[in-house]
């Protein structure tokens, strides 16, 4: 089983690209990036790719990409699908809340899903809540993403309308 979070909607939405990027060891040396103390650049192949971020805070950031790694067509009938990725923190959930509120248009319906792919595929009784876009709060999203929240649901869908 794999956890998957995605947005399904009736209108296109902007993507949020990762600030992390891959560069070669040679490029890292040219940019005068300090290597990890256990693996100095000199011991690595100059063409090896390494993950680079400007700020440590950008690791595990909120990323929203069109389409989805998993086939999620059994969950929704909407044509626009966006995979939602981040490592849980209240800051990242707040960023997701801000993204949803800033990007929902008049007449748009957004489904925000968090599901376990391969979990009871024969039975899709996933709880959902429906809100006007103005009603959505951080607490609603924390129920979806914070497994320590008293109201946490393993699988959940939030439907937003404007």
Q: Where are the domains of the chain?
A: 2-18+59-161, 21-53
Element (H, E) at 100: helix 90-103
* Whole-number Å distance between alpha carbons of 44 and 145: 38
Instruction: Please write the tens of the pLDDT for every residue from 93-106.
Output: 999 999 999 999 99
* Whole-number Å distance between alpha carbons of 140 and 20: 28
Percent of the chain with pLDDT over 70: 94
**For residue 120, is pLDDT > 70?**
no
Q: Are 13 and 26 in contact (CB under 8 A)?
A: no
| pTM exceeds 0.95 | no
* Whole-number Å distance between alpha carbons of 83 and 64: 6
CB atoms closer than 10 angstroms to residue 68: 20
Percent of the chain with pLDDT over 90: 58
Fill in the DSSP letter of residue 92: H
Q: Which residues pair with 161 in a beta bridge?
A: 109, 132
Instruction: Please write the tens of the pLDDT for every residue from 9-65.
Output: 999 999 998 777 788 888 888 888 888 888 888 888 989 888 787 777 766 789 999
The 3-state secondary structure of 32-90, one letter per residue: CCCCCCCCCHHHCCCCCEEEECCCHHHCCCCEEEEECCCCCCCCCCCCEEEEEECCCCH
Q: What are the angstrom distances between the C-alpha of 9 and each of 1, 19, 21?
A: 25, 25, 28
Fill in the DSSP letter of residue 80: E
Residue whose tokens read 């849980």: 88
Predicted pLDDT at 2: 85
**For residue 123, is pLDDT > 70?**
no
Q: Angle between the 138-145 and 90-103 helix axes, to the nearest 10 degrees?
A: 120
Fill in the DSSP letter of residue 16: B
């Amino acid at each position: 089983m794999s956890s998957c979070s995605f947005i399904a909607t009736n209108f296109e939405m902007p993507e949020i690209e990762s600030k992390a990027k891959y560069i070669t060891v040679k490029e890292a040396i040219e940019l005068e990036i300090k290597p990890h103390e256990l693996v100095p650049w000199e011991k690595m192949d100059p063409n090896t790719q390494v993950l680079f971020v400007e700020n440590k805070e950008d690791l595990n950031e909120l990323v929203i990409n069109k389409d989805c790694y998993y086939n999620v067509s059994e969950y929704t009938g909407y044509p626009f699908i966006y995979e939602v990725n981040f490592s849980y923190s209240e800051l990242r959930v707040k960023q997701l809340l801000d993204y949803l509120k800033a990007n929902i248009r008049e007449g748009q319906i957004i489904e925000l899903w968090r599901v376990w792919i391969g979990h009871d595929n024969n039975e899709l009784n996933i709880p959902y809540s429906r809100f006007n876009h103005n009603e959505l709060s951080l607490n609603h999203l924390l129920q979806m993403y914070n497994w320590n929240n008293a109201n946490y649901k393993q699988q959940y869908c939030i439907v937003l309308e404007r």
